[in-house]
């Protein structure tokens, strides 16, 4: 029986390996870009929504709700102002508040943010589907200079329990601004969460106060270096201010009323936000950019598809003879059409499949880097329905585009008659 029309299409493509491969590669790159954008944005949204859960309100000094969300939850940017300790105490003492966890931000260790808080943080901070923080190693901070580190901090810096660490003042690099006279000691390492917690170093609020003894002016007072640890431990280390407060309510139904109350009726001006709402607003801002990106990548696929047309149309000239041989041996117009459309579809299909494989490789390589650099764990980027749909759509589009060269080839072969002039 010999070779089927699809066999012919395949062999004909293999006969033009370089051109076929380049076309397939162009499509693969465009499909990989599209799938990458699509998967990354879904994964980002999921990761995003899972960053914090179980916290009904976040309270900080008045700024914008996205700003407050960014610095308190994502450790991005800086608080412009803090709230006073008495205000925190007033919030915690409210009847409708079940728990209130203060946090204090502002310092770093080798680029990782240091978060001062209380032990109750480990009890109340939840992420994903209300999952609690868990320890991979060690336990909560207890002593003044104890530190609990996130999983990425441990992994990237190679730290474990008992590793000493020096906190740097502010968010800049270390050196002159190191709190090197007050070394900390790792006492606990958290399990990975896929949230910014993984990039954070947790210490007690008192520790934050303690390391800033002698920094009251904002710069180091060398005399303070000589204050012995014993003396510092004897100080009243209750902080004067905190950066933000995470709040859980006794009754979730009162959230709007409590928020209004906090926003308007406190002695100090405050901003209380509902994390879910703020996340949605933040996502709204990002989704415009993300949709533009998706549209651009869809256009890139169109460019890839055009390369199929270019490759087949330019091949037709040198294939006039091949077409007339096929016609002479009995091929009907439908065979010629099928042959060329099949070639286009094969190019589209192979390109799309290669693209889908390519993006998996890229994610496999990029995931550890992304998670280390930005604390985003890209989940759900594995092969899925979106890949199947994309491969199907690209193949179908290639198939339809193949009609063009198919008709061109047919017209020519009819005009050529039995023999082609060399």
Ligand X SMILES: Nc1ncnc2c1ncn2[C@@H]1O[C@H](COP(=O)(O)OP(=O)(O)O)[C@@H](O)[C@H]1O
The least distance separating another protein from the CB of residue 372, rounded to whole angstroms, comes to 49
Q: Which is nearer to ligand X, 96 or 416 (CB)?
A: 416
The reply on whether position 290 binds another protein by CB under 8 A is no
326 binds another protein (CB under 8 A): yes
**Choosing among ligand X, another protein, none, which partner's interface includes residue 86 (Cβ < 5 to 8 Å by kind)?**
none
Verify binding: residue 325, another protein, rule CB under 8 A: yes
- Asked if residue 384 binds ligand X (CB under 6 A), the reply is no
CB of 418 to ligand X, least distance (A): 9
Q: How far is the CB of 355 from ligand X (least distance, A)?
A: 41
To ligand X, the closest distance from the beta carbon of 413 in angstroms equals 10
CB of 308 to another protein, least distance (A): 19
The residue from 257, 260, 291, 321 that contacts another protein (CB under 8 A) is 321
Number of residues that bind another protein (CB under 8 A): 27
Footprint on residues 328-387 left by another protein (CB under 8 A)? 328-333, 335
Cβ atoms < 10 Å from Cβ of 359: 26
**Rounded distance between C-alpha atoms, residue 337 and residue 409, angstroms:** 8
Hey, what are 84's tokens? 């006073």
Closer CB to another protein, 17 or 130, in the complex: 17
- Tell me if 281 contacts ligand X by CB under 6 A: no
Give the length of the chain: 422
Pick what 329 binds: another protein, ligand X, none; C-beta below 5 to 8 Å, kind-dependent: another protein
Q: How far is C-alpha 145 from the geometric centre of its chain's CA atoms?
A: 33
x/- letters, 392..421, toward another protein (CB under 8 A): ----------------------x--xxx--
Scanning the structure block, which residue is given the tokens 């029309």?
5
Could you give the CA distance from residue 236 to residue 308 in angstroms, rounded to a whole number?
A: 74
Range 88-127, binding ligand X (CB under 6 A): none
**Positions 294 through 323 that interact with ligand X (CB under 6 A):** none
In this complex, which beta carbon is closest to another protein, that of residue 54 or of residue 333?
333
Residues binding ligand X: number (CB under 6 A):
2
Reference 362, options 377, 337, 375, 381; nearest CA is: 381
Q: Please give the Cα distance from 36 to 297 (Å, whole number).
A: 9
Measured in degrees and rounded to the nearest 5, phi and psi for residue 109 equal -130, 110
Per residue, the 3-state secondary structure of 338-359, as one string, reads HHHHHHHHHHHHHHHHHHHHHH
Query: Closest distance between ligand X and the C-beta of residue 410, in Å?
Result: 15
Interface map 398-417 toward ligand X (x if CB under 6 A): ------------------xx
Q: 321 contacts which partner out of ligand X, another protein, none, CB within 5 to 8 A by kind?
A: another protein
Taking the C-alpha atoms of 259, 264, 270 and 274 in order, what is their torsion angle to the nearest 10 degrees? 20
Q: Which residues bind to another protein, rule: CB under 8 A? A: 1-5, 8, 11-12, 14-15, 321-322, 325-333, 335, 414, 417-419, 422
Q: Which residues bind to ligand X, rule: CB under 6 A? A: 416-417
């Amino acid at each position: 029986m010999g070779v089927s029309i699809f066999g012919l299409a395949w062999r004909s493509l293999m006969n033009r390996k370089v051109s076929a491969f380049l076309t397939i590669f162009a499509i693969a790159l465009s499909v990989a870009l599209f799938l990458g954008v699509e998967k990354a944005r879904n994964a980002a949204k999921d990761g995003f929504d899972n960053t914090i859960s179980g916290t009904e309100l976040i309270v900080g000094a008045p700024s914008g709700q996205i700003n407050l969300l960014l610095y308190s939850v994502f450790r991005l940017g800086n608080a412009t102002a803090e709230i006073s300790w008495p205000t925190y105490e007033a919030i915690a003492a409210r009847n409708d508040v079940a728990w209130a966890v203060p946090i204090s931000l502002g310092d770093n260790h080798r680029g990782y943010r240091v978060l001062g808080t209380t032990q109750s943080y480990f009890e109340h901070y939840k992420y994903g589907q209300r999952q609690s923080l868990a320890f991979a190693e060690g336990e909560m901070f207890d002593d003044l200079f104890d530190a609990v580190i996130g999983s990425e901090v441990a992994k990237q810096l190679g730290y474990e329990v008992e590793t000493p660490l020096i906190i740097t003042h502010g968010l800049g690099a270390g050196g002159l601004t190191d709190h090197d006279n007050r070394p900390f000691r790792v006492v606990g390492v958290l399990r990975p969460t896929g949230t910014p917690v993984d990039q954070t170093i947790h210490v007690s609020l008192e520790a934050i106060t303690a390391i800033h003894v002698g920094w009251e002016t904002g710069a180091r007072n060398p005399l303070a270096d000589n204050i012995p640890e014993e003396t510092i431990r004897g100080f009243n280390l209750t902080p004067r201010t905190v950066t933000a407060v995470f709040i859980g309510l006794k009754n979730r139904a009162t959230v709007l009323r409590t928020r209004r109350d906090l926003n308007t009726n406190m002695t100090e001006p405050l901003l209380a936000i509902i994390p879910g709402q703020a996340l949605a607003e933040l996502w709204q801002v990002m989704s415009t950019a993300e949709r533009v990106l998706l549209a651009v990548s869809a256009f890139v696929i169109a460019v890839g598809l055009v390369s199929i047309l270019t490759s087949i149309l330019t091949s037709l000239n040198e294939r006039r003879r091949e077409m007339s041989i096929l016609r002479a041996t009995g091929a009907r117009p439908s065979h010629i059409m099928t042959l060329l459309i099949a070639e286009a579809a094969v190019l589209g299909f192979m390109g799309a499949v290669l693209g889908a494989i390519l993006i998996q490789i890229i994610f496999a390589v990029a995931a550890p880097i992304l998670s280390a650099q930005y604390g985003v764990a890209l989940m759900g980027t594995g092969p899925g329905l979106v890949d199947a749909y994309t491969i199907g759509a690209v193949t179908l589009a290639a198939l339809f585009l193949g009609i063009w060269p198919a008709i061109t080839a047919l017209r020519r072969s009819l005009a050529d008659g039995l023999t082609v002039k060399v």
